[in-house]
């Protein structure tokens, strides 16, 4: 293991140097990896594993757009692409990559094929952590573990093709064979992780749900809306408001923050921007921290899981969801964004 130091806090992680791809291939050489679900995470993980030389099959409902995508990606019906039940039957390790709601619905189909010694792999701790609501309770004689890439399946695939890796967490919930950790780490390397850090199912889902509702999606959209609205109401044009709110952040600043850190960004901007940022950051921190405390409480008590499950179980959920997304898509801010993106210079 490699030791990292985070401001005095030490953490041990698994890198490709101490767990090379050749070792992962050796550990999984006799396994049939069945990717159940070809929606969000499924394509990236399945394709990366296949390209890395592992024996991969896909289980997906047919007819569906995801089935058609799997065919377009080179999975062959009857050879490497099957129904969910048939893939679960053939697989020795099942990568359960359906959405949280679909995992609940498909569990009665999957469970009979989880025979002794098999492995059950998740990329999200939701189904296991909230099993009082999901009723996903695995048999005791199988391995249950998790590898959670810290990004979308699209990012996982894109970074793999660029020769880079997306960091992932891993966790062991149940080790029936004595090989659960090796299986988990081998799959983590196989799907293209940059490095792997240890967690548990509860911590993974608590941090994930907080992040999605917080800085990754919910909070950032709320901040975008607030600043854009204030600028527009004070007479700034849509182009100016969008560029100052979103475009400069995503296209100029965040890539540099990702490369060098926020301290570097502060040190390399104008003195006016630097002074203002330092003066205002604490006000924003203090204003939003109570919201994050409320959010974490809602996650840790299971309330967010309850809301998600109840919403997804409604017959008209997809219709309502599309209406909400349409309102977001057609808002002035994101209409401005579409126009601004269309004017970006093409790569030479």
Domain 212-342 coded CATH 2.40.110.10: no
CB atoms under 10 Å from CB of 322, counted, come to 11
pLDDT value for 7: 82
Question: What one-character DSSP code corresponds to residue 113?
Answer: G
Judge whether 234 counts as a catalytic residue: no
Residues of the chain with CATH 1.10.1040.10: 212-342
Q: Say which of 50, 118, 124, 157 is annotated catalytic.
A: 124
Average pLDDT in the chain: 96
Summarize pLDDT for 255-300 with one digit per residue, the tens. 999 999 999 999 989 999 999 999 999 999 999 999 999 999 999 9
CATH class of the structural domain 2-199 = alpha beta
pLDDT-flagged residues of the chain (< 70): 347-348
Summarize pLDDT for 146-159 with one digit per residue, the tens. 999 999 999 999 99
pLDDT value for 3: 86
> What DSSP string describes 298-326?
HHHTTHHHHHHHHHHTSTTHHHHHHHHHH
**In the chain, how long is the greatest CA-to-CA distance?**
67
- The answer to whether residues 139 and 114 touch, using CB atoms and an 8 Å cutoff, is yes
pLDDT value for 8: 85
Residue 323 to residues 9, 318, 320, Cα–Cα distance (Å):
45, 9, 5
d(CA 186, CA 2): 16
Residues of the chain with CATH 3.40.50.720: 2-199
pLDDT value for 348: 54
Q: Per-residue b/e over 244-275, b at no fewer than 16 CB within 10 Å?
A: ebbbebeeeeeeeeeeeeeeebeeeeeeeeee
pLDDT value for 240: 97
- The answer to whether residues 79 and 50 touch, using CB atoms and an 8 Å cutoff, is no
- The answer to whether residues 216 and 228 touch, using CB atoms and an 8 Å cutoff, is no
Is there a cis peptide before residue 63, judged by omega within 30 degrees of 0? yes
- The answer to whether residues 204 and 124 touch, using CB atoms and an 8 Å cutoff, is yes
């Amino acid at each position: 293991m490699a030791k990292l130091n985070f401001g005095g806090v030490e953490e041990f992680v698994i890198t490709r140097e101490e767990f090379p791809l050749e070792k992962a291939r050796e550990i999984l050489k006799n396994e049939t990896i069945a990717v159940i679900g070809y929606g969000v995470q499924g394509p990236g993980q399945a394709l990366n594993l296949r390209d890395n030389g592992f024996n991969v099959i896909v289980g997906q409902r047919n007819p569906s757009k995801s089935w058609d995508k799997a065919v377009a990606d080179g999975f062959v019906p009857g050879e490497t692409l099957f129904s969910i039940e048939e893939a679960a039957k053939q697989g020795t390790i099942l990568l359960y990559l359906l959405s949280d709601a679909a995992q609940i619905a498909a569990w009665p189909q999957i469970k009979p094929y989880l025979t002794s010694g098999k492995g059950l792999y998740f990329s999200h701790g939701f189904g296991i952590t909230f099993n009082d609501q999901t009723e996903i309770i695995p048999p005791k004689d199988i391995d249950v573990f998790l590898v959670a890439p810290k990004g979308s399946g699209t990012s996982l695939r894109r970074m793999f093709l660029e020769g880079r890796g997306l960091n992932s967490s891993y966790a062991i919930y149940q080790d029936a064979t004595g090989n659960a950790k090796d299986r988990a780490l081998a799959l983590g390397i196989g799907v293209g992780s940059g490095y792997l850090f240890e967690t548990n199912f509860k911590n993974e889902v608590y941090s994930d749900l907080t992040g999605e509702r917080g800085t990754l999606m919910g909070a950032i959209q709320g901040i975008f809306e607030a600043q854009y609205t204030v600028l527009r109401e004070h007479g700034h044009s849509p182009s100016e408001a969008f560029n100052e709110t979103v475009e400069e952040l995503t296209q100029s600043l965040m890539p540099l923050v990702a490369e060098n850190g926020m301290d570097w960004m502060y040190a390399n901007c104008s003195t006016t921007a630097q002074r203002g940022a330092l003066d205002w950051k604490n006000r924003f921190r203090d204003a939003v921290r109570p919201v994050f405390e409320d959010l974490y409480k809602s996650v840790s008590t299971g309330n967010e899981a309850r809301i998600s499950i109840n919403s997804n179980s409604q017959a008209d959920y997809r219709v309502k969801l599309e209406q909400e997304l349409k309102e977001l898509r057609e808002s002035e801010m994101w209409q401005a964004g579409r126009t601004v993106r269309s004017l970006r210079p093409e790569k030479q």
